[in-house]
Structure 1
């Protein structure tokens, strides 16, 4: 999946309360078919053509965080960020790479703290980016600051291993 200016993936507009819309368009890395991936659903997204796992990236806000992140059937990597934050803009592509590499095993949920002050307070965000791993709605890991994709992948793997077993094990697959 790509979220570059190529337009291969995008999210829809925003609702009146600032919450993300229900789907994002994703190109399958295996067959190239375009798929709509909902922000919230049971299981994990798969390509409608070849059934390969798709990266699950969604936006959430105060109003829909529970449905999108806490009720997810997969572990969730939460990115608490702000538009004015340079390191946040630098780490975003790395987080998307992690979501792509762990397609079918994690969900990436992005939260703009300026649009979601309730979540910023709830998670006691003191600096951005702040990254959380939620497993069945329970926080299992937290990291503040930017890091390269390989370090983020290692942190996610270690966090999930400590919680339930490795992110790459067959038991984590849908």
Structure 2
């Protein structure tokens, strides 16, 4: 469960259920203050905060979406579960394109949902449209493996 406030997100730890406040643009990977387990990392961003959110020590999956978009609403629980399952390995950043047109232009969003995978602020790959959980995970696994292999 995640509740977003101006001071950050309040996230219940999947391991011990204690509530933790994760500030926007937190450095490192958020961990539970009680049991030290990695916390799911899913945040909302704006045109003004996106660059700070992209500066994470892990891959960042940017979800460009809109509230009127049916496939976007379908992806929301898939992404929430992914954030829980990949706690400490992946940060998910959601951007409402209706409220943040600069980001939509930046990523040349023609269709949504648009998922953009980044590392260190650089785009690695992108997918358009709702993906079933198993396809999303396979895509992320493939990208992770291809971007962590040592050079030949």
TM category (shorter chain) comes to over 0.9
What is the match of residue 30 of structure 2?
Answer: 45
Structure 1: how far apart are the matches of 2:135 and 2:81? 12
8 Å contact from structure 1 (residues 60, 109) kept in 2: yes
Segments of 4+ moved more than 6 angstroms: none
Q: 1:62 aligns with which of 9, 27, 47?
A: 47
Per-residue deviation, residues 12-66 of structure 1 (Å, max 9, x unmatched): 1xxxxxxxx3411111111111111122121100000000000011111111111
What is the match of residue 86 of structure 1?
Answer: 70
Q: 2:3 aligns with which of 7, 10, 20?
A: 10
Structure 2, gaps ≥5 residues long: none
Could you state the TM-score of these two structures normalised by the residue count of structure 1?
Answer: 0.82
The secondary structure found in structure 2 opposite 1:133 is: strand
Per-residue deviation, residues 50-104 of structure 1 (Å, max 9, x unmatched): 00000011111111111112x1221101100011101000111101111111000
Structure 1: how far apart are the matches of 2:48 and 2:24? 13
Could you state the TM-score of these two structures normalised by the residue count of structure 2?
Answer: 0.94
Count of residue pairs the alignment pairs up: 149
Structure 1: how far apart are the matches of 2:141 and 2:21? 27
What is the match of residue 140 of structure 2?
Answer: 156
Alignment RMSD, CA only? 1.1
